[in-house]
């Protein structure tokens, strides 16, 4: 009988053994530090995976579920890997790539990552870390991660260990290696995506800033695909305060119409990126400035606002013509992408026209029907997804929050649940301010402070019950998570939306 077959029949393979023995599929004697099985045969022992070791005083935690392995994805390694690594790599190939290529069938950067992952161990470990983190989110649920007592699955520790291995390999890399810069850019991208999924925003900023710096220094020698990906991430993360690395600082130099009639519709993400960046940059300036600053510089701000609005309007008209001509010939995924591009342009138009009004109810009131139409358009786009991914009128706001939470998803630096939680906190604060203002104007100063606060709180509860229909319990738990996250994650306090929320609370 074949000795190897005999060993498989009569010996059970250890699941807590060292990485080398597990990759060789032999039983490990589990000697602390380095196992005797490896040292006695002259092999390097790669140590033990901490998340596999039994917990002191109790049984091991139950492992999270996982998808079946894809043979094509799990059999191309040029070095030994464990079953967990194969599974997470397969998950990245089968699920993460599908979710990461956004709304157009362009998988250029994932293909680059896969090609490099099969030749470079650092990129491979970074890919496995992203697959593990994404796997934890999918099987644990994005909603459950907003709880303060969220229990970590084994996939969390797989991702942590794989990140550490990737970091270690990069530190030991020869600085004269001609592939080093491209490997570092790819790893930075994977680290950013992993940190976004895990909502570790300090790490997001650190890795994104490093990647942007490398791309800016070596843009001519880096793949245009990677440059485009980092441009997109820079735009999405503009509220992190990273500054302009890859975009033209003077966005007023942009052409009047960024969508020529001959532009293919599936190129909208790259073609409109400069416009998105310019509009978001201007809107953040408007939202972050006080009414006094806006009044003092209104003439210059209004000129920029008019110029940008003109570019958005002309681009809208041109895109609408091309969309109407080619919409029926697009794939279903590309049709959704075109719908989202149309929604984004409409959002830019409305945001530009209101960002300098500083929450003035009288001046913002006429825009409420447009906000309602915008939410209706968003709801229509969301219904096209088989898997489900501030406004003046509070009923319209609640519809927007429901639409946002009905499709939990990450799109680059945007996390739908974090955004909806921030908006929910602002929703409650502004509703309370409005109720207090109305009651004070009605009752004057005849009511004492404690009695007045009780009346305000009762009115707010009644109005929330009427608006939400008692469907706000989950959001209340998410609000507790947000307060904890702001206290523990220092970078969140620098976000424009969080800063405005803290100012409102103050």
- Structural domain boundaries of the chain? 1-58, 67-240, 250-358, 396-506
Instruction: Compute the distance between CA of residue 249 and CA of residue 243 in angstroms, rounded to an integer.
Output: 9
Instruction: Compute the distance between CA of residue 390 and CA of residue 375 in angstroms, rounded to an integer.
Output: 11
Decide: helix, strand or coil at residue 27.
Answer: coil
Instruction: Give kind and range of the element (H or E) at residue 228.
Output: helix 224-236
Query: Per the structure block, which two tokens stand in for 41?
Result: 């045969």
Query: Per the structure block, which two tokens stand in for 274?
Result: 């400069």
In CATH, the number for domain 1-58 is 4.10.240
pLDDT at 388: 47
Burial group, residue 292, by CB count within 10 angstroms (0-12, 13-18, 19+): exposed
Instruction: Compute the distance between CA of residue 114 and CA of residue 92 in angstroms, rounded to an integer.
Output: 10
Question: The tokens 């950067």 sit on which residue?
Answer: 109
Instruction: Compute the distance between CA of residue 155 and CA of residue 137 in angstroms, rounded to an integer.
Output: 9
User: Measured at the alpha carbon of residue 195, what is the angle toward residues 60 and 99, in degrees to the nearest 5?
Assistant: 95
Instruction: Compute the distance between CA of residue 162 and CA of residue 168 in angstroms, rounded to an integer.
Output: 10
- The tens place of each residue's pLDDT in the chain, 506 residues long, gives 454 444 444 444 456 778 778 777 788 888 877 888 888 888 888 776 644 555 444 444 444 444 443 434 444 566 677 778 888 888 888 778 777 665 554 556 777 888 888 888 899 999 999 999 988 877 655 554 554 445 667 788 889 999 999 999 898 888 888 788 888 989 999 999 999 888 888 898 899 989 888 888 887 788 888 888 888 888 888 877 776 666 665 666 666 666 666 666 766 667 778 888 888 888 888 888 888 899 899 999 999 899 899 989 988 888 888 888 888 887 777 788 888 889 999 999 999 999 998 777 888 889 999 999 999 998 888 877 655 434 346 778 788 888 887 877 777 677 777 888 888 888 888 888 887 887 676 566 666 788 788 878 877 877 777 777 666 666 666 667 677 777 777 777 777 777 777 777 76
Query: Per the structure block, which two tokens stand in for 115?
Result: 């090609």
Instruction: Compute the distance between CA of residue 500 and CA of residue 506 in angstroms, rounded to an integer.
Output: 10
* pTM, entire model: 0.66
> First and final CA of the chain: distance in angstroms?
78
Residue pair 400/375 in contact by the 8 Å Cβ criterion: yes
Instruction: Compute the distance between CA of residue 186 and CA of residue 182 in angstroms, rounded to an integer.
Output: 6
């Amino acid at each position: 009988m074949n000795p190897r077959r005999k060993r498989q029949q009569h010996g059970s393979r250890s699941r807590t053994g060292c990485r080398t023995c597990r990759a060789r599929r032999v039983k490990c004697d589990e000697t602390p530090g380095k196992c005797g099985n490896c040292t006695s045969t002259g092999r390097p022992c790669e140590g033990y995976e901490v998340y596999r070791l039994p917990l002191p005083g109790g049984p091991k935690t139950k492992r999270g579920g996982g998808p079946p392995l894809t043979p094509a994805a799990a059999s191309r390694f040029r070095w030994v890997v464990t079953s967990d690594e194969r599974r997470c790599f397969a998950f990245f190939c089968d699920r993460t790539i599908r979710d990461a290529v956004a709304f157009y069938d362009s998988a250029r950067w994932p293909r680059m990552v896969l090609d490099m992952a099969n030749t470079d161990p650092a990129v491979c470990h970074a890919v496995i870390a992203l697959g593990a983190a994404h796997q934890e989110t999918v099987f644990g649920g994005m909603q459950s991660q907003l709880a303060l007592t969220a229990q970590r699955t084994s996939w969390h520790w797989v991702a942590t260990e794989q990140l550490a291995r990737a970091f270690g390999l990069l530190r030991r890399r020869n600085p004269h290696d001609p592939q080093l810069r491209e490997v570092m850019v790819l790893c930075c991208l994977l680290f950013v995506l992993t940190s976004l999924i895990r909502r570790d925003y300090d790490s997001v900023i650190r890795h994104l800033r490093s990647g942007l710096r490398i791309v800016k220094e070596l843009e001519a020698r880096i793949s245009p695909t990677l440059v485009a990906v980092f441009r997109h991430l820079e735009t999405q993360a503009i509220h992190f305060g990273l500054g302009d690395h890859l975009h033209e600082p003077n966005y007023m130099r942009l052409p009047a119409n960024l969508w020529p009639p001959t532009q293919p519709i599936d190129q909208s993400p790259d073609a409109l990126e400069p416009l998105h960046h310019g509009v978001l940059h201007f809107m953040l300036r408007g939202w972050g400035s006080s009414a006094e600053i806006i009044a003092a510089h209104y003439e210059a701000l209004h000129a920029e606002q008019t110029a940008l609005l003109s570019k958005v309007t002309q681009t809208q008209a041109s895109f609408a013509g091309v969309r109407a001509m080619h919409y029926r010939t697009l794939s279903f995924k590309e049709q959704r992408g075109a719908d989202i591009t149309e929604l984004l342009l409409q959002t830019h138009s409305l945001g530009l026209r209101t960002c300098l009004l500083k929450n003035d109810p009288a001046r913002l009131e006429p825009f409420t029907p447009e906000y309602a139409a915008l939410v209706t358009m968003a709801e229509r786009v969301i219904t096209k997804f088989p898997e489900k991914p501030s406004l003046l009128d509070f009923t319209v706001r609640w519809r927007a929050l429901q639409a946002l939470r009905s499709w939990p998803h990450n799109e680059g630096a945007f996390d739908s649940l974090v955004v909806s939680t921030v908006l929910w906190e602002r929703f409650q604060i502004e509703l309370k301010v409005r109720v207090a203002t109305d009651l004070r104007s009605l009752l004057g100063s005849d009511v004492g402070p404690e009695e007045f606060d009780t009346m305000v709180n009762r009115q707010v509860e009644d109005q929330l019950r009427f608006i939400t229909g008692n469907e706000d319990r989950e959001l209340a738990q998410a609000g507790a998570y947000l307060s904890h996250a702001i206290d523990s994650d220092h970078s969140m306090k620098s976000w424009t939306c969080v800063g405005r929320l803290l100012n409102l609370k103050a």
